Amino acid sequence: MQYRVEKDSMGELQVPADALWGAQTQRAVDNFPISDLRAPRAFIEALGLIKASAAAVNADLGLLDRGIADAIVGAADAVAAGDHDDQFPVDIFQTGSGTSSNMNTNEVVAHLASEAAGDKVHPNDHVNMGQSSNDVIPTAIHVSAAMGVEKRLLPALRHLRDTIRGKADELNGVTKTGRTHLMDAMPVRFGQELGGWATQIDNGIARVEAALPRIRRLAQGGTAVGTGINAHPEFGRRFAEALAERTDVAFEPSPDYFESLSSQDAAVELSGQLKTVAVSIMKIANDLRWMNSGPLAGLGEIALTALQPGSSIMPGKVNPVIPEAAAMVSAQVIGNDSTITVAGQSGNFQLNVMLPVVAYNLLQSIELLANTSQVLADKAVAGFTVNEGNLEKALAKNPILVTALNAVIGYEKGAAIAKKAYAEGRPIKEVALAETDLDEAELDRLLDPAQLTQGGINK
């Protein structure tokens, strides 16, 4: 490999000749050979947008030469667009402020801008003007999270909710055995069961939306400790306005830079809501797996779309692969939330020192939930079919239907009928006809599964 010599405040060192980064990035590469985890694409995009917006605002404030600013904006836009993702080699597990990632961005943008301007663009004096890693990285967390939620996650969750609602409407007339404790219970309609799933997702959407106002508040302008040192007094407000115009997201300056630099409470809050969504998806995924179980020795209530062979040794086996993947995603998001919660506690005085790991886990949770919601809707919920014969057979022999007779024959008599029906494998109606004074017409009316599903939704 060919190298060139770069210099920073600590001295000289070798950098790969074709690298766009400089000395500080190379020091981070050398210092943190810890994992194969790098800054997510959404985070790099946010950093590019921040540098472009900052340069434009500094030029408007008369602090930065317009030609240099234009070169920075062009270079930063290219970074935001993903043209140079291979130039961000710094490990996620780095200095807790994310200084290495900020300087990586400054150096790449400065290199590109220098080529465009035909003049030296300095990574600190020009690209990082009016900024500090201490406000850039918290801002990048909020910007990338807000964009990911608004542009990807919420549309995907709405798609999942609407797909479930559509399937619920389609199957609303189909009655099945309800289950509590995984044991037979009173009947429900498919529409009711799926409607509960849809409401879970709808509530998840509301929870995530409720966290967004605090995510849209940006630390930019607080610089090193929250006092705004080295930034123009109007920089934070103008920056938020410029970024909102670039992204079509309603960003605003933080009302308290000290809070925004020293804590990650907004990220912890959002992560908690993402965890709740993950819990909902886990429940839905597991219900689908149980209903699909069999086809002969399980519940066999539904048949999920066959997507791939299910075994390398058992021919003909088909597994519920999409719900299984969704359940694993849910477990990952729940784990990510634990990491973010611990990291959120590391706000020591004026700075949180676990910012990169907050960014990585929060953005991964957003991406995983967005992708999973789309896949779960399109490849599991939308296409499953109902095995009505199995449903009817189970309903006919469900001993818990005797619950409908409680008001007429009493709990004790009902329990005796249920036990006898179960022990002899006979329908409840048949046993009740022999053990009570009720005639067949009355039993048909009282034990009609469809009639027993009325109610349960208050609108």
- Listed residue (418, 436, 435) closest to 427, CA to CA: 418
Looking up tokens 């999942």 gives 160
CB count in 10 Å sphere of residue 193 = 18
Q: List CB contacts of 251: < 8 A, sequence separation 6 or more.
A: 142, 143, 146, 216, 217, 218, 240, 243, 244
The encoded tokens of residue 300 equal 């066999």
d(CA 87, CA 112): 11
How do beta strands 302-303 and 385-386 pair?
Answer: antiparallel
To the query of whether residue 101 is one of the catalytic residues in this protein, the response is no
d(CA 244, CA 56): 13
85 contacts 39 by C-beta, under 8 angstroms: no
List, as one string, the DSSP characters of 350-416. TEES-HHHHHHHHHHHHHHHHHHHHHHIIIIITT-EE-HHHHHHHHHT-GGGGGGGHHHH-HHHHHH
To the query of whether residue 311 is one of the catalytic residues in this protein, the response is yes
- Active-site residue, selected from the candidate residues 35, 101, 142, 181: 181
d(CA 226, CA 349): 11
Q: Residue 126, exposed/middle/buried by CB under 10 A (0-12, 13-18, 19+)? A: buried
- Active-site residue, selected from the candidate residues 254, 311, 346, 365: 311
Q: Which residues are catalytic?
A: 181, 311
